[in-house]
Amino acid sequence: MKVEKSQIQTPAILLDLDILENNIKNFHRMAASKKIWPMIKTHKSTEIARMQLNHGATGFLCGTLDECETLFENLVHGEKRDISIMYAYPVASYPNITRVIKLAVDCESFYIRVDSHKQCELLNQAAAESGVCINYTAIINTGLNRFGIIPCEIKKLMGEISNFMNLRFCGISTHPGHVYGETTDEGIAKIARQETDIMKSTAKALNDIGIPPQLISTGSTPTYPLVSKETAINCLHPGNYVFMDNMQVSMGCAIEDDCALTILATVISAPRDGEFIIDAGSKCLGLDKGTHGNEKIKGHGRIKNQKDFICTADSNEDMLTIQSLSEEVGKIVVPQSNRGKATLKIGDKIEIIPNHSCATANNTSLYVAMRKGVFDRLIYVDMRGNSKNPLT
């Protein structure tokens, strides 16, 4: 049976397959001969990971151990795919170290990231007891000031951990997440230069002491088009590119038509002049207004096709703002000067581009996949955060 968008119950997380496939194809084409290990926390779906593999990805960067384990179970073990799996963060608790050990035993191309002697000491001890060698990369701080060391510290770290025989150094990794605070092309280009210059400086320091890094990996969707041209970087980790979102639009990295993931909602109340209540709240949209403080983000998402719901001469200005969210509902407001121009009414369905698509993805168990406005299939989100029993 043909199901049109208007027939789908709300709220629903829609995924436009044509846009999704186009985003994957375009970004992977940019990478030329580099390794593409996308950050999988954006979509958390085996089916979408499979699409990325079919377009040239050879591995994945994971934000949770749940993601690492599901990729191994479904694609490496289940489908005999020869792929690399990298966990983006250090581990320090015994249960998580145990999970890392098992992944290293089961998956020859499993990697973890570290940035201190103590993490390596804990890992090496557990690895030695299990008779396994763990691949790792050192996290480099390229300006986000979260994890990582700076180039002048790399020699000291390598000197401290070089005697850990059950750890195998494979390279250096970073994430320039501070780029999400930028709002201009010039600002993004500055972060991309900083990202590559620091990684090249660190690689040179390692080469100088006879420890050449096999992997030099980095990634963010905004800097990807620039960094993908840099010969010194050989592994890329874009994440948000598959869906795009309002953050990418606000930065000029995407337009509305590039955004594959939207929330379908219905106007269920109009309690006051210029105010409308929709049946989608923070459990669909999240409360994110920009990962690192993007001042261009206004409201809790971007309503698509606004001209269908408000008559205003200024077609470039968004006049409908998602002002606030409760858990299950949201409030749209119209500026006082334009309240007489709003045509939005109870029963209307709207599509919303989330500010941060990764947060929306982790709030659902399935995507309603559409093709040219018609339902195509359900795509399951099978790697959600905390989806596994922590006691097993």
- The CA R_g of the chain, rounded to the nearest whole Å, is 22
CATH of the domain at 312: 2.40.37.20
* pLDDT at residue 317, rounded to an integer: 60
Residues pairing with 44 in the sheet: none
Inside any domain, residue 4: no
Residue 318 is predicted with a pLDDT of 67
* Strand partners of residue 111: 86, 135
| Nearest residue to 242 (alpha-carbon basis) of 40, 30, 35 | 40
At 65, list the tokens: 């151990």
Domain encompassing residue 44: 17-242
Q: pLDDT digit string (tens) for 150-170? A: 999 999 999 999 899 999 999
Task: Give me the residues of the chain with pLDDT under 70, please.
Answer: 290-293, 312-318, 391-392
* Predicted local distance difference test score (pLDDT) of residue 319: 81
DSSP single-letter state for residue 363: T
Q: Looking at the structure, tell me whether residues 225 and 265 fall in a common domain.
A: no
Q: Which pLDDT score is estimated for 292?
A: 63
Q: Say how many domains are in the chain.
A: 2
- Shared domain check, 85 and 44: yes
Residues 101 and 155 in one domain: yes
The verdict on 189 and 264 lying in the same domain is: no
Question: For residue 342, what pLDDT is reported?
Answer: 79
Same domain, 238 and 266: no
Q: How far is CA 239 from the centre of its chain?
A: 4
The answer on 296 and 182 residing in a single domain is: no
Is residue 324 included in any domain, yes or no?
yes
